[in-house]
Copies of this chain bind each other. A is one copy, B any other.
Amino acid sequence: MGAEPHDVDYRLLDPFKRIAQKIASGTDTNIERLGLTVVRESRGESAFLIRGLDGRTPALLATVPETLGTKNLVADRMREVTGRSYYDQIAQDAVAMNVNDLLTVGALPVVVGPHVAAGSSEWFADEERAHDLATGWKHACDLSRCVYGPGESPALVDLVRPDSAVISGFGLGIVRVEAQRISSRRLRAGDAIVFLESSGIHANGLTDARRLADRLTNGYQTRLSNGVLFGEALLAPTHIYVSAVEACQDAEIDLHYVANITGHGWRKLMRAREPFRYVVHDPPKPSPLFEFLIENLGLSVIDAYGTFNMGAGFALFVDPQDADRVAAISSQQGLRAWVAGDVTAASERSVEVPALHIVFPESSLKLR
């Protein structure tokens, strides 16, 4: 009855999020007449859960809206250089933002639909880009083992820049059985942290990267130490972690918690509200792209790991005796996975990377 989620600190949020979350978490409309009920503690989490009243399967429905951000502005500029649209990759980024968030509550994606709001109707007339965008969306849904859902494609003249589009999506997922639902309540001191590799920058930190391109003499055409163009490296499509999580579920691994490492970089590892210290003993070696970003943005190590995923796109928290098996199962799905650290008891949250002298205190994360 109007209760707030248990420990939201509204002071930490921007005004809109603070106000909206407070109002949204007021007394919910009664949906019991529809045989459904809200899982109130999922409010403010990465995906929002609805439960069927009578224990029938699917146990839980999960919904999420996610934006791509401004990564397609990089694609628009790189098209001028190489002639490719890259919107197939952009579509995968947008789908990934949705499905990887669904996974964090233990849901597998069912439907992901596109919302493409262009600044002009002419934008939709470019057949090559249209084909790339739709093909990429379909391919990403196939990788996510879900269905290409309904789309919306308005031209919003005077609101969006005429030569580009705001790309977002929404996802519907299900948690097949209650035991597969993931919430931080199952996270325990002693748990192992298994990292799954990222493909690159994914879809976070793009505004910084775009500003950097504006300052470089050769812009997106600057070559990284491995010879790849800066712009092309940025456009590597976000990895999709569905098959790894589903394979773990099918192997009856008890996933205690999962973190999608997006905005806030590695600070996201302490997303759970409980006080734990997360220690990463085996960070990945930064790729040429991250080395380039750090050097040219003049970032400190702590700023880099607090902003970018730095090579680790997703984290699974499991019982230490399951850790090697989780890494092996995930690797079988085609992504490098390794046991990277552990969770220890603490009086307040922190993320630590001893080899890099990094300590992120609890106060550095403002999420909910």
Q: Which of A121-129, A217-225, A327-335 contacts B (4 or more CB under 8 A)?
A: A121-129
Q: A115-B168, A207-B157 are in contact. Are A19 and B131 (CB under 8 A)?
A: yes
Whole-angstrom CA separation of A160 from B157 in the bound complex: 10
B159 engages A124 (CB within 8 Å): no
| Residues of B close to A48: CB separation below 8 A | 111, 113, 149-150
Top 7 nearest A-B pairs by Cβ distance? A170-B170, A16-B124, A48-B150, A23-B134, A20-B134, A16-B130, A24-B148
Tell me which residues from 128 to 150 in chain A have a Cβ below 8 Å from any Cβ of chain B.
130-131, 133-135, 137-138, 141-142, 144-150
A67 engages B154 (CB within 8 Å): yes
26 contacts between A and B (CB under 8 A): A14-B124, A14-B125, A15-B126, A16-B124, A19-B127, A19-B130, A20-B134, A20-B137, A28-B147, A31-B145, A31-B146, A34-B58, A34-B176, A35-B57, A38-B147, A50-B111, A63-B113, A63-B149, A65-B152, A67-B115, A70-B158, A73-B158, A115-B168, A117-B166, A152-B168, A160-B166
| Residues of B close to A273: CB separation below 8 A | none
Q: Nearest residue in B to A111 (C-beta to C-beta)?
A: B63
Asked if A47 CB lies within 8 Å of chain B CBs, one says yes
A159 engages B161 (CB within 8 Å): yes
Among B16, B113, B142, the residue within 8 A (CB) of A65 is: B113
Whole-angstrom CA separation of A141 from B23 in the bound complex: 12
B138 engages A23 (CB within 8 Å): yes
| Residues of B close to A35: CB separation below 8 A | 57-58, 174, 176
Beyond A63-B113, A69-B154, 18 additional pairs, beta carbon < 8 A: A14-B125, A15-B125, A16-B124, A19-B127, A19-B134, A20-B133, A23-B131, A31-B110, A34-B176, A36-B174, A63-B170, A65-B115, A65-B169, A70-B157, A152-B168, A159-B161, A159-B166, A170-B170
Asked if A26 CB lies within 8 Å of chain B CBs, one says yes
Whole-angstrom CA separation of A64 from B169 in the bound complex: 11
Q: A110-B50, A126-B15 are in contact. Are A29 and B147 (CB under 8 A)?
A: yes
The smallest C-beta distance from A3 to any residue of chain B, in angstroms, reads 15
| Residues of B close to A69: CB separation below 8 A | 154, 156
The smallest C-beta distance from A286 to any residue of chain B, in angstroms, reads 26
Whole-angstrom CA separation of A19 from B17 in the bound complex: 37
Asked if A296 CB lies within 8 Å of chain B CBs, one says no
A residues engaging B (CB < 8 A)? 14-17, 19-20, 22-24, 26, 28-31, 33-36, 38, 43, 47-48, 50, 56-58, 61, 63-67, 69-70, 73, 108, 110-111, 113-117, 121, 124-127, 130-131, 133-135, 137-138, 141-142, 144-154, 156-161, 164, 166, 168-170, 172, 174, 176, 207, 210
Q: Nearest residue in B to A33 (C-beta to C-beta)?
A: B145
Whole-angstrom CA separation of A160 from B164 in the bound complex: 10
A34 engages B116 (CB within 8 Å): no
B170 engages A65 (CB within 8 Å): yes
| Residues of B close to A159: CB separation below 8 A | 70, 73, 160-161, 164, 166
